Structure 1
Amino acid sequence: MSLHADARAVLASWTAPDADQERLRRAYLDHLDRYPDAMWRSCLPGHLTASAAVVDATGQRVLLTLHRKIRLWLQLGGHCEPGDSSLAAAALREATEESGIAGLRLLPTPVRLDRHAVPCGGGSWHLDVQYVAVAPPGAEPVVDPAESDGLAWFEVTALPEPSDDACRALVAAAVQRVRAAAAAG
Structure 2
Amino acid sequence: MREGLRALLAGYNLPPLERDVHASMAALVDHPSDPTSRTTFDPGHFTASAFVLSPDRDAVLLVHHRKLNRWLQPGGHIDPGDENALAAARREVLEETGLRADVLFEDVFDIDIHAYPAGREPGHLHFDLRFLLGADTSDVPGSSEIDGWRWVRFDEIAAVDADPSLTRPFAKVGRWVGSGAE
Aligned match of 1:25: 22
Specify the alignment match of 1:85 in structure 2. Answer: 83
> How is 1:120-159 mapped onto 2 (pairs within 5 angstroms)?
121-136=121-136, 138-145=137-144, 147-159=145-157
In structure 2, how many angstroms separate the alpha carbons of the residues matched to 1:51 and 1:134?
13
- In structure 1, the residue matched to 2:54 is 56
CA contact (8 A) 1:55 1:175 kept: no
2:55 touches 2:138 (CA, 8 Å); kept in 1? no
Residue 40 of structure 1 is matched in structure 2 by 37
Please report how far the alpha carbon of residue 106 of structure 1 lies from its aligned counterpart in structure 2 after TM superposition. Answer: 4.4
TM-score if structure 1 supplies the norm length? 0.87
- Number of equivalent positions: 178
Q: Deviations over 1:41-81 (max 9, x none)?
A: 11111100011111124431111001111111111101000
Could you say what the CA RMSD is over the residues aligned between the two structures, in angstroms?
Answer: 1.8
User: Structure 1, residues 64-114: CA drift from partner, whole Å, max 9, x if none?
Assistant: 001111111111101000111111111111112211112433420112111
* Residue of structure 2 in register with 1:65 after alignment: 63
Structure richer in strand, relative to its length? 2
Q: Which residue of 2 aligns with 1:166?
A: 165
Q: Secondary structure at the match of 2:131?
A: strand
Shift of 1:20: 2.4
Unmatched runs of 5 consecutive residues or more in structure 1: none
Give yes or no for contact 2:101–2:133 (8 Å, CA) kept in 1. Answer: no
Q: 1:178/1:89 Cα in 2 relative to 1: closer, same or farther (>3 Å)?
A: farther
For residues 104 and 91 of structure 2, the distance between their equivalents in structure 1, rounded to whole angstroms, comes to 10
Asked whether the equivalents of residues 93 and 100 of structure 2 are also in contact (C-alpha less than 8 Å), the reply is no
Q: Give the letter aligned to residue 134 of structure 1.
A: G
Identity of aligned residues (%): 31
Q: For the Cα contact (< 8 Å) 1:142–1:151, is it kept in 2?
A: no
Letter in 2 for 1:175: G
- Distance, in Å, in 2 between the alignment partners of 1:106 and 1:94 is 16
Greater Cα shift, 39-48 or 101-110:
101-110
Name 1:7's counterpart in structure 2: 5
Aligned position for 1:107: 105
Aligned residues of 1:60 and 1:155 also touching (Cα < 8 A) = yes
